[in-house]
Amino acid sequence: MPPTIIQDINQHNFHEVLRPTPFHPRVDHNCLTKNWMDWNGYLTARTYDTLAAEYFAIRSSCSVMDLTPMGKYRINGPDANKFLNRLVTRDVSMLRPQRVSYVVMCNDEGKVLDDATIFHLSEGDYRLCCQHHQLDWLMISSLGMDVSIEEETHDVAALAVQGPTSASALKLAGIDEIEQLKPYDILHTQLHGFEVMVSRTGYTGDLGYELWTSPDNALNLWDAIFEVKQKGFYDIRTIGLSALEMVRIEAGFILPGDDFNTAETAIRADRVRSPYEVGLGWVVNLDKPSFTGKRALLDEKKKPIKRRLLRLEVSGNKAPQDSFLYAGKGGKRIGTIMTQIWSPILKANLAMADVEFAGGSQPNDIWAEIYYQKELEWRVSWAKGKVWNKPFWTHPRRSASPPGSY
């Protein structure tokens, strides 16, 4: 058995069902609801206080979320770039050091395994971050290449700092160069004597950053950020996964495993989806050399699209959770609501919906059949859907460089 595996076994407390992150002493103190959930084997807060307060912290001030459970893999070696360019559908051959790229991984049939971000940390040294565990797929895909792949999920502590005042708050915390970062830039810096990597990335559709450091420095990083709040400069709030779910749907970002079945987990062949079917055709480059799934995607591109993950606004105030969709009120069933929220800022039901396309054309009259309970009695209503071809919500500050001072 490799020494690294033996060391991990020795360090693991088998009496713990879920592993605490390096930030857990602060997370547990702030989590008033004790509403926990599992994220990649880590104990993660669903909500800390109230969902409304956390949501508006992202959209109106500054929010902090523990990002440590995200899968993280260090990739380097002579064939590192070649390996990554074959692994993902996007052309990352020219990704410069200190830059980040959003990518998609497919299997040989051109179906989505996961989306990810590739961080080019320094020349030939990369970090790949994704929602789900993908070490086995990375190792299989690396056969025949001179590349080193190491999982570092447990070795890197991370925070997402998002919202209009995030840049201003981080500057007061001691990251003076924060205003230099453009979207998808990386900064290596020192904060109170320890190393921190800052990337201008996020999952909220707003101005925001992600901070990466050693687990030994996790609490120091947390305290440096929240000291800004304690001094009365800015309101900074912790947020959980429920608030993140709201803002990512507003921003039109997909979540593999929730918005659609991944190729790794689906049992039936008709339940998997290609990048084109989940609205990610823009990260597929069919002109680059061979990559996993290219042949299947070339064939699919020649045919009319059969279905698509659509951004759908559903009228009324009834939550269309798991609702079936129909072509016309009471017509033929054409799809399903996969995930949905009520948007406080847009005052509307927003959803990600899996919809069939007849003859390659998008339906122009979509209705949701909504079941709801009133006084212990189940009732049904119909609500019309409106397709959005762009994000439900966006703001210029997300891409402003330098970011505005709020």
Per-residue pLDDT of the chain (406 residues; tens, 9 = 90+): 555 555 555 566 666 789 999 999 999 999 999 999 999 999 999 999 999 999 999 999 999 999 999 999 999 999 999 999 999 999 999 999 999 999 999 999 999 999 999 999 999 999 999 999 999 999 999 999 999 999 999 999 999 999 999 999 999 999 999 999 999 999 999 999 999 999 999 999 999 999 999 999 999 999 999 999 999 999 999 999 999 999 999 999 999 999 999 999 999 988 999 999 999 999 999 999 999 999 999 999 999 999 999 999 999 999 999 999 999 998 999 999 999 999 999 999 999 999 999 999 999 999 999 999 999 999 999 999 999 999 999 999 999 999 988 8
Same domain for 240 and 176, yes or no, is: yes
Our count of domains for the chain comes to 2
Question: Do 38 and 174 share a domain, yes or no?
Answer: yes
Domain boundary residue among 250, 268, 286? Answer: 250
CATH of the domain at 317: 2.40.30.110
- Strand boundaries in 259-376, DSSP class E: 307-314, 324-327, 332-343, 348-356, 366-374
Are 326 and 245 members of one domain? no
**Cβ neighbours of 20 (radius 10 Å):** 15
Does a structural domain hold residue 16? yes
- Pair 52, 166 in one domain: yes
Residue 299 included in any domain: no
Evaluate whether 186 touches 198 at the Cβ level (below 8 Å). Answer: yes
Number of Cβ within a 10 Å radius of residue 175 = 23
356 in a structural domain: yes
Q: Which domain holds residue 320?
A: 304-388
Residues 240 and 315 in one domain: no
User: Hey, what are 209's tokens?
Assistant: 């950053």
353 neighbors 337 (Cβ within 8 angstroms): yes
Does one domain contain both 183 and 39?
yes
Question: d(Cα 396, Cα 398) in Å, to the nearest integer?
Answer: 5
Whether residue 367 is found in the same domain as residue 242: no
Nearest to 86 by CA among 147, 152, 153: 147
Instruction: Please tell me whether residues 181 and 51 are part of one structural domain.
Output: yes
Sheet holding 125-130, edge to edge: 99-106, 112-122, 125-130, 71-76, 148-151
CA distance 99 to 205: 18
Query: 241: how many CB neighbours lie within 10 A of its CB?
Result: 18
210 is known to lie in a ligand binding site: yes
DSSP codes, 128-183:
EEESS--HHHHHHHTTTS--EEEE-GGG-EEEEEESTTHHHHHHHHT-GGGGGPPT
Q: What does the block give as tokens for 15?
A: 């009496």
**CATH number, residue 235:** 3.30.1360.120
Q: How many other C-beta atoms are found inside a 10 Å radius of the C-beta of residue 101?
A: 19
Q: Smallest Cα–Cα separation from 209: which of 8, 403, 390, 405?
A: 403
Cα separation, 226 vs 12, in Å, equals 30
Same domain membership, residue 165 and residue 31: yes
In this structure, is residue 263 part of a structural domain?
no
C-alpha distances (whole Å) from 129 to each of 5, 118, 120, 152 are 21, 7, 11, 10
DSSP letter, residue 403: P
Residue 257 lies in a domain: no
189 shares a domain with 45 = yes
End residue of a domain, out of 250, 273, 288: 250
Residue 216 lies in a domain: yes
Report if residue 83 sits inside a domain: no
Q: What does the pLDDT read at residue 340?
A: 98
39-42: long-range contacts (C-beta < 8 A, 24 or more apart)?
A: 39/69, 39/241, 40/69, 40/70, 40/71, 40/132, 40/133, 40/153, 41/69, 42/18, 42/68, 42/69
Residues 239 and 370 in one domain: no
What is the CB-side half-sphere exposure of residue 368 using CA atoms within 13 A? 31
Domain presence at residue 102: no
Tokens of 73: 């893999």
Q: What pLDDT does residue 13 have?
A: 62
Judge if 232 and 363 occupy the same domain: no
